Amino acid sequence: MSDRPLLVALIGIITVIAAVIMIAIGVMFVLMTPEKWADFVLNYESITFGYDIVTSLGILIIVIGLITLLIGTAIWNGWTVAWYIALIIYLMFAVFSFLSIVGGSKEPILSFLIAIVILFYLTRPKVKAFFKV
């Protein structure tokens, strides 16, 4: 395996940190009591319905966090599949950001530029060699 490029290591570390944050938020949602949820939404009539949604959302966030943790680990270790996953994810970010920009929104310009830069970076020969692509 070739040496890990610095930015690949950075992307892997940031992905793992994001995964840990997602898992923590998901756990917080799952552990939130109905009383805390009622205080949070200030709608005492639909506490049970809202609480069930928050619990389900928490479980979904935990699952997404675990998948993100796996992707971050795969990027760090240079698994070939991680390169393809990253390429797909950042291509989707670029497309959705572009569509938002075309729709008149200015906020996604930075997201679009970051996605394009990362897509360009992922296609560099040294990065592709690290991922064995």
Residue 38 in this model has a pLDDT that exceeds 90: no
Residue 96 in this model has a pLDDT that exceeds 70: yes
Residue 72 in this model has a pLDDT that exceeds 70: yes
pLDDT of residue 69: 95
pLDDT of residue 39: 64
Q: 107: pLDDT confidence band, cut at 50, 70 and 90?
A: confident
Q: 75: pLDDT confidence band, cut at 50, 70 and 90?
A: very high
The number of residues in the chain equals 133
* Span 10-35, pLDDT tens digits: 989 998 999 999 999 999 988 877 66
* Span 47-70, pLDDT tens digits: 555 667 778 889 999 999 999 999
44 or 6: which carries more pLDDT confidence? 6
85-89: Cβ within 8 A, 24+ apart: 86/11, 86/118, 86/122, 87/119, 87/122
pLDDT of residue 108: 86
* Span 78-88, pLDDT tens digits: 999 999 998 99
| % of the chain beyond a pLDDT of 90 | 61
